Amino acid sequence: MRFSTIALVGLLGFLMAPSPVHAQYEVVPSHVPAVFKAQLLQFIQLTRRNIRDIQALPPDDSAPVDLAVIHNAHLAYAQIRAAQWGMGTALGNQTYKDPMLDLAHKKAVEAFNLSRFAASSQSGSRPEYISRSVQDLSKALRLAQQALIVLP
């Protein structure tokens, strides 16, 4: 009885403890321009690598997609999600609307939507995943680069 109680308390403690793995990859959105610019830059760097890695995948479905590829796609997605949210918050806080920030935000939102497929889609065939991911990520990359250029 005593051993099972100790084991139960230990298990509950383990399950309720914050996960350091998730915390280290958590991307915090911010309305501060320097932060969302850095997040856009990080998205651009990760997406360049993700495009290369996805293109290098074998087209047959016999082997699973490398977990590092999926993980990096999730990281890039988190960066663009935080950047576009931060820009939206910055727009909402402005008394005088900045048209360049608004344009950058629209581009970041579109890039965010395009980057979702590579990070979340595991259904369908491998060739379809490779083709659509590369196509969507290439568009998202261009949009993020344009957003970064026009940001004040």
- Which pLDDT tens digit goes with each residue over 69-104? 999 999 999 999 999 999 999 999 999 889 999 999
In a domain, 126, yes or no: yes
pLDDT confidence bin for 14, thresholds 50/70/90: very low
In a domain, 3, yes or no: no
- Does the pLDDT value for residue 22 go beyond 80? no
Q: Of the candidates 35, 131, 25, 30, which has an alpha carbon nearest to the alpha carbon of residue 78?
A: 25
User: pTM for this one?
Assistant: 0.80
In a domain, 12, yes or no: no
pLDDT confidence bin for 38, thresholds 50/70/90: very high
| Count of domains observed in the chain | 1
- Alpha carbons 104 and 42: distance in angstroms, whole number: 16
In a domain, 124, yes or no: yes
| 145 Cβ contact partners less than 8 Å away, ≥ 6 residues apart | 44
- Does the pLDDT value for residue 2 go beyond 70? no
- Does the pLDDT value for residue 67 go beyond 80? yes
* Percentage with pLDDT > 90 across the chain: 63
Specify the CATH number for the domain of residue 50. Answer: 1.20.120
Q: Which domain holds residue 80?
A: 21-150
Q: Tens digits of per-residue pLDDT, 98-115? A: 999 999 999 999 999 999
Instruction: Average the pLDDT over 124-131 and give the result.
Output: 87
- Alpha carbons 9 and 73: distance in angstroms, whole number: 37
Q: Which residues of 9-38 are buried (b: 16+ CB within 10 A; e: fewer)?
A: eeeeeeeeeeeeeeeeeebebbbeeebbbe
In a domain, 5, yes or no: no
**Helix locations, the chain, DSSP H:** 2-16, 20-25, 33-55, 67-93, 99-120, 126-150
In a domain, 1, yes or no: no
The backbone torsions φ and ψ at residue 19, rounded to the nearest 5 degrees and listed phi first, read: -85, 115
Specify the pLDDT at position 18.
Answer: 45
In a domain, 144, yes or no: yes
Q: Give ∠ CA 106-108-29 in degrees, rounded to 5.
A: 115
Centroid of chain to Cα 97: 27
In a domain, 140, yes or no: yes
